[in-house]
Amino acid sequence: MMSEKTAIVTGITGQDGWYLSGLLLERGYRVIGTSRDPAAGGPVRDGIVTARWDLRDGEVLEALLRDHRPTEFYNLAAFASGAGMYDDPVGIGEVNGLAVARMLEAVRRVDPAIRFCQASSSEMFGEPDRSPQGEDTAFHPRSPYGAAKLYAHEMVGIYDRVHGLFACSAILFNHESPRRGPGFVTGKIARAAARIGRGFESELSLGNLDAQRDWSFAGDSMRGMMLALQADAPGDYVFASGESHSVRDVCEVAFAQVGLDYRDHVRTSDADYRPAEAVPLVGDASKAQRVLGWAPQMDFPTLIRSMVDAELDILQHPANNPR
CA 132 to chain centre: 19
Q: Are 280 and 211 in contact (CB under 8 A)?
A: no
DSSP string spanning 202-216? --EEES-TT-EE--E
3 state SS of 278: coil
CA 44 to chain centre: 16
Inter-CA distances, 215 with 36, 185, 278, Å: 28, 11, 18
Q: CA 179, CA 40: separation in Å to the nearest integer?
A: 16
Q: Are 45 and 26 in contact (CB under 8 A)?
A: no
Nearest Cα to Cα of residue 119 among 137, 136, 100: 100
* Cα 270-189-183 angle, rounded to 5 deg: 80
123 a catalytic residue: yes
Among 19, 29, 74, 145, the one annotated catalytic: 145
Write the secondary structure of 78-103 as one string of H (helix), E (strand) and C (coil). CCCCHHHCCCCHHHHHHHHHHHHHHH
The phi, psi pair for 78, rounded to 5°, reads -175, 155
Among 121, 122, 216, 221, the one annotated catalytic: 121
Among 123, 176, 252, 311, the one annotated catalytic: 123
Return the active site residues. Answer: 121, 123, 145
